[in-house]
Every structure is written in C-alpha cells, then in structure tokens.
Amino acid sequence: MKVRIAIPLIFLGACGGPRGLPPEPPKRALTLDPVMGERAAALEEAPVLPPLSPGAGTVALVGGTVFLGDGKRLEPGTVVLSHGKILAVGPADQVKVPNGATTVDARGRFVTPGLIDTHSHLGVYATPHVEGTADGNEMTDPTTPYVFSEHAFWPQDPGLSRALAGGITSLQILPGSGNVIGGRSVTFKLRPRLEARAMRIPDAPFGLKMACGENPKRVYGTLKQQPMSRMGNITKLRQAFLKAKEYNFLQRAHEAEYATWQQKYEAAKANPVGAEPPGKEPRRPDRNLGFETLADAMAGKIQVHIHCYRADEMLLMIALSKELGFKIASFHHAVEAYKIADVLAKEGIGASMWADWWGFKLEAWDGIEENIAAVSAAGGLAIVHSDSEIGIQRLNQEAAKALASGRRLGLSVNEDDAIRWVTLNPAKALGIDRRTGSLEVGKDADVVVWSGSPLSIYGKADQVYIDGELTFDRQQGLRPVSDFEVGTEMEEVLP
C-alpha cells in the first residue's frame, strides 16, 4: 500500500524574501560629530622678527696662530668664512684664498672659535642693577619649571655688548638659583636683536636650571616653609619629577587612546554606511607647563644644568638623576669637582667652574684654584663659566688663570686645553657643538681675532665674527649700542 506525504510549498517572491514580508530597509549613513581636536595644543614659540641672514661675502683670516678649539692649533693658519659658515681651515701655505675674498692679515695675531659661556644672567639681571631689571628668580614657589628665562630677557642690556667685546659669541641665559627647580634656560648668539626669540641658536636645546644646597633652603627657610633644609630640597625635587612622570604617563595613555579612536573615526568617515560609531572623542588631560618641561628633561630633549658646590651633593644628584630618569649636562660652580673628577669623567657630566672664586659661603669653602685643571686632567668635560657681567668680559683670562694654577700643581694641561675650556667643551654641555665651538669646515663662522695670545692679559679681541658677520671691530669702533645707552656717553670735543 502506498502512503502519500503532503509537502507544503513556499513560494518566493521576486525580491527573494518570503511572500508577504516587506524588504529590509536600506542601511543609513552614520552621521559623525566634527573632530574638536586639542583644547590647548602645544605650539612652537616662534619669533616675530625674521631670522638674521648670515654674513655676506667671503672673508679670509690669513697667517695667524689658529687655536682650533678641539685641542689642536695651526701655526700659521688660515680660516676662510663664507656666507655664515667656515669654508676652509688649514695651514696657511695649504689654504687658497678664494677670488674676491676680503683678506684680513692675522700675522702676529691669534684666531680662536667664539667663546661660549654656559652660565650667564645677562638680560634677566641686566645693567643697571635695580629692582626694575631683576627678573632672574621667580621665588614664589620652590619648584618653578614652568617659567622661562627667555620671557624676561632684555635684549637692550648694555652688558651684552661688553661680553661681545670680550670675544663671547654664544651664551646660556639661566634663571637664578633661589629655587630647587628654577625654570628653563635658553642659548643665544650675541648678534643684536630687539626680540629675545630672534637671538636663539637654531636647533639649540633648551636647558633646565636646578639648584641644590644653601640657596633654596636659605630663601624658603627664612619664610618658614619647605624647603628649609637640604632634606627639603631633595624632597621637593623628587616630588616634582614623580608628578611629572605620572603626568607624562597620562599624556601618553591619552595619545594611545586617541590614536585608536581616530582609526575608528577615519574608518567610519571613509565608509559611513553601516559603520559602527567611534564613540566619544577622548579628551586630553589638562596641560601643565612645568610637568611638560620636566618630562622633556627626562626624555633628553632639555639639557639639565645644576647649581651645586659640594662633592657629596653632586654625587647625590647623580644618583637622583638615575632614579628619576634625567641626564645631567653640567654641574655649575662645582667648587669641589676636583674631589670626584674621575666620577664626572666616567658619567660624561660637565663641570662649569670659576677659576678662583671660593669661600664666600660655607659650601664654597673647600674650593681650590686647580679645580678646572684637575677635572680636565682626569678626562672630564672642564668648562670655565662666568656667572658675572664682569667675568664674562674676560672669560679668556679666567681660562688662563686656571691653566697657570694647574701647571703649578704639575697637572698635564696645556694652552690648547685652556682654549677648549671656553669653546668646544661649553658647546658640548649646551648641545650646540655640531654648530659651533671649534673651527671646522661647515660649522657656523663664529670666530675671534685677538691682538695677542688670548691667554695673556694683553690679548684683546680685535674682531668678532658671528655667523660670518663682523659684529665687533675694536680698531673701527664697530660695536652694537643699546638704545638704553644712546645719549648717555660723553665725548670730548676739541675746540
């Protein structure tokens, strides 16, 4: 017997869906909110004035004794400057003077790189010294990494032209040492401008001024607030860097979160039909200018310079730098650097020192006149600095004094070393040695012609070239004059 099974039939409509069901509605395009971007983006602090053009034409300094700045010399030598750069340097009988060059007879004279001072307060503690020109210390908080010496620098300071007359071509302008963290510094060339930013050395890293020892504890101890001891100094320093580390972590976490969100946003923008919403745009944590500075110091973008006298405190700061993640470019003043010269050489930390200042306070008591030479003889980065509007005018003589002291002690130092203490070594500590500090082809034409040996009290800067531009000439009476001084100098008029 056959069994029949009835199978129901389903008829499909033309659209492919079951008969009687409506077609699926088309997918709608996703509507995206506009990108808001940064609320307070970090922007470059660009100058208003255009950059100075390099010196025009070609100049050949022929036949002088040439200190190259790298520990070597040429006797006699020739240096050719062209369009702001050093075109040629070598023995006088091997360097050909280009056709059309202006020739300067340097026979009997000396040629060096422009001198560099790692520690100056010109422009922020300007002349005349009155309260109205005292802008180097923001002593309202023991940690002020958010202030910047450039914002207080007065380009009309008459002291700048005096430094230039002493052969200075570059200098670092630092905040003072009243705070544990004093703020950012800037490195300038001494070509006169009306705007501080226009005097910056291109690509020169900014600095961070810090201080240990007596100064911060004296300033705040008299106010009966922290820090009033060396313990307090270190506590405030460590707290600031730890907070900056946390700030930097949050900023980087935001960047990662934002990158993920941006990918989703761009994908939805490219194909909005059926796209998943990217979600709310992540908001960057509030900016903190001080923590940004400290974060850049830990990232190696900013050079750290520390006012520090005693050997034990320098060792403590080295340990802290390893703990907190920053690199020290140079200790400043460092009157006990001779005690740890081997450590400084091993760590690659410079010491910016005076030739013979000591004893003016207890932490400066154990200084010796052989300090600079001892650091140099140990293979360290020895630097002569001024910290003085007077000393900067004779930085070459400070190097000569330090050399004489080292020789009396029998240390292995020579004249070429002494020149390096005020040229290439400070350039290295400031991170500008690729541009200046030695007489090498391709470097900036920052050059001084001296009437006699720069290591003699009788040697004077005759001519100073910055970027190949003759900026000072003693014989011709060429020097920048501050507007502040116009009408203040008296001149005898013969009948």
- Name the pairing type of β-strands 461-466 and 303-308: unpaired
> What are the pLDDT tens digits along the chain (495 aa)?
454 544 444 444 444 445 667 777 777 788 888 888 888 888 788 999 998 899 999 999 999 999 999 999 999 999 999 999 999 999 999 999 999 999 999 999 999 999 999 999 999 999 999 999 999 999 999 999 999 999 999 999 999 999 999 999 999 999 999 999 999 999 999 999 999 999 999 999 999 999 999 999 999 999 999 999 999 999 999 999 999 999 999 999 999 999 999 999 999 999 988 888 999 999 999 999 999 999 999 999 999 999 999 999 999 999 999 999 999 999 999 999 999 999 999 999 999 999 999 999 999 999 999 999 999 999 999 999 999 999 999 999 999 999 999 999 999 999 999 999 999 999 999 999 999 999 999 999 999 999 999 999 999 999 999 999 999 999 999 999 898 888 877 666 677
d(CA 241, CA 237): 6
DSSP 3-state of 406: helix
Q: Prior bond to 76 cis, omega within 30?
A: yes
Provide the pLDDT for residue 5.
46
All domains in the chain, ordered by first residue: 114-242+286-437 (3.20.20.140)
Report the candidate in 191, 211, 206 with the shortest Cα–Cα distance to residue 149.
206
Around Cβ 478, how many Cβ atoms within 10 Å? Answer: 12
Report the candidate in 218, 221, 148, 208 with the shortest Cα–Cα distance to residue 181.
208
